[in-house]
């Protein structure tokens, strides 16, 4: 399943997720952005699934804290954009 939005500057942010039953088992973030370090994107995707961030009362804060603690940086989208895609996520 896929969700996407246009973020500031007309860029696209896409969230592709895979379900097994009622559980999200995989996520992939793609679009018009850069992520530093590059391998951190896979760690972020795993974190989102393992911690079920879409169920959080403050997904934006959880994402921002994770990025900061792990010294990761996204150029082209922010935690609020990703949180928007996660809100209400259901299989």
Distance from C-alpha of 88 to C-alpha of 7, rounded to nearest angstrom = 19
Domain ranges of the chain: 2-86
pLDDT, tens only, 34-52 = 999 999 999 999 999 999 9
User: pTM of the predicted model, to two decimals?
Assistant: 0.93
Reported as a pLDDT band with limits 50, 70 and 90, residue 8 is confident
pLDDT, tens only, 52-81 = 999 999 999 999 999 999 999 999 999 999
Q: Which CATH superfamily is domain 2-86 in?
A: CO dehydrogenase flavoprotein, C-terminal domain (3.30.390.50)
Q: CB of 2 within 8 A of CB of 28?
A: no
Q: Radius of gyration of the chain from Cα atoms?
A: 12
Distance from C-alpha of 58 to C-alpha of 80, rounded to nearest angstrom = 10
């Amino acid at each position: 399943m896929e969700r996407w939005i246009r973020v500031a500057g007309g860029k696209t942010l896409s969230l592709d997720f895979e379900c097994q039953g009622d559980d999200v088992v995989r996520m992939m973030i793609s679009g018009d952005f850069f992520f530093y370090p590059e391998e951190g994107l896979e760690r972020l995707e795993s974190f989102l699934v393992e911690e079920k961030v879409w169920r959080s009362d403050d997904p934006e804060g959880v994402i921002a804290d994770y990025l900061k603690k792990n010294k990761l940086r996204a150029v082209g989208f922010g935690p609020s954009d990703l949180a928007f895609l996660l809100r209400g996520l259901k299989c």
